[in-house]
Amino acid sequence: MTDLSVDLVAFVGLGAMGGPMCANLAGKSPVPVLAYDLNADAVASAVRAGAVGAEGLAAVAEADIVFVCVPGEDETRAVCLGPGGLCDQARSGQVVVDCTTATVAVNLDVAEALAAKGAYFADAPVARGVPNAIEGTLSITVGADKETFSRITPWLECMGSDVAYCGPVGTGTVMKLMNNMVLFENVSALAEAMAIATRAGVDRDRVFELLGQGSADSFALRRHGSFMTTGEYPADLFPTTYSVKDLNYALALADQLDVDAAGARLVRDRFSEIVERGLGHLYSPVVYELFDGK
């Protein structure tokens, strides 16, 4: 780390993604890392990884750089803009980095509130999922002014192997929403391909192996396809309810920009049906259940 002005960092939100991200940050940081979550067990896990437990946002606000990773826009608003939130307690020179997949609107609102205190904001949502969060090999897309980006990059590199500057505040979120939109459309297409191929007589265990040998190969095929092959969908990865949330954010942005994102709407409707069936807590490859057995 080259930024000697940073004496303390903090991490808020220790869920499926935030927990391992905080663990990597604590393990690689040369300065103490405060960890806070409403779940005491999650905080205890972060402490075992080398972080220092914080009792609330007031303690977290003492940090020079504060990372946030919560489920979505509502939680970001509560943590950052709510009474006693990070923006209320911000001080000049402090940086808040939101790694949540949220919306451009909340990014701009938080940035404005922080700027009024002389503080800075970056949206830095993360991609590649829980296994890469554990490995510290996330892809991180960042929206910020260039000076803030330079300041936070060494810390983001504790958690990700690819840290990309996208432009001003909000652009990191735009690119994350597009990443997820394309990913989920691929997952839906894989479900269609599995259904067609197996009904046409191809062995279920070989469908994605064979697709992977051609131009249909992709991250989604290699990561998500394996679960469609086995028919076992984990509940400790990214739940389909979160996928629906991200698709809704992406579709709202498309509507604002007058883009007819028909493919994304179809996938959102399919994933919503999965949620309605009571399977929303499972990983998104469970969308194959819409085809399997019909």
In the chain, where does DSSP find H-type helix?
18-28, 40-48, 57-60, 73-76, 104-115, 130-135, 146-156, 171-199, 207-211, 219-230, 240-256, 262-276
pLDDT at 4: 45
**Whether residues 18 and 164 fall in one domain:** yes
Measured in whole angstroms, how far is the alpha carbon of residue 128 from the centre of its chain?
8
Domain boundary among 146, 168, 190: 168
Considering the domain boundaries, does residue 126 fall inside one? yes
Closest CA to 126 of 96, 161, 167: 161
CB of 282 within 8 A of CB of 240?
yes
Give 129 or 282, the one with higher predicted confidence: 282
**Whether residues 64 and 160 fall in one domain:** yes
**Whether residues 180 and 122 fall in one domain:** no
Q: Let me know if 176 is a catalytic residue.
A: yes
**Whether residues 24 and 99 fall in one domain:** yes
CB of 166 within 8 A of CB of 141?
yes
Considering the domain boundaries, does residue 3 fall inside one? no
**Whether residues 158 and 178 fall in one domain:** no
Closest CA to 246 of 227, 223, 267: 267
The predicted model gives 5-31 an average pLDDT of 96
Closest CA to 76 of 125, 29, 34: 125
pLDDT at 110 over 60: yes
Torsion sign, CA atoms 52, 53, 57, 58: negative
Q: Are strands 138-143 and 126-127 parallel, antiparallel or unpaired?
A: antiparallel
pLDDT per residue as tens digits for the range 211-245: 999 999 999 999 999 999 999 999 988 899 999 99
Residue in 146, 176, 245, 294 annotated catalytic: 176
**Whether residues 99 and 79 fall in one domain:** yes
User: DSSP characters for 200-229?
Assistant: TT--TTTHHHHHTTTTT--HHHHHHHHHHH
Considering the domain boundaries, does residue 2 fall inside one? no
**Whether residues 207 and 63 fall in one domain:** no
Please name the amino acid found at residue 8.
L
Residues pairing with 163 in the sheet = 140
Q: Given pLDDT bands bounded at 50, 70 and 90, which one contains residue 293?
A: low
Name the E strands within 155-206. 160-167
pLDDT at 199 over 80: yes
What gap in Å lies between CA 11 and CA 34, rounded to an integer? 6
Considering the domain boundaries, does residue 162 fall inside one? yes
Measured in whole angstroms, how far is the alpha carbon of residue 70 from the centre of its chain?
8
**Whether residues 115 and 207 fall in one domain:** no
pLDDT-above-90 percentage for the chain: 96
Please name the amino acid found at residue 254.
A
pLDDT per residue as tens digits for the range 32-81: 999 999 999 999 999 999 999 999 999 999 999 999 999 999 999 999 99
Q: Residue 179: which domain range?
A: 174-290
Residues pairing with 165 in the sheet = 142
Considering the domain boundaries, does residue 285 fall inside one? yes
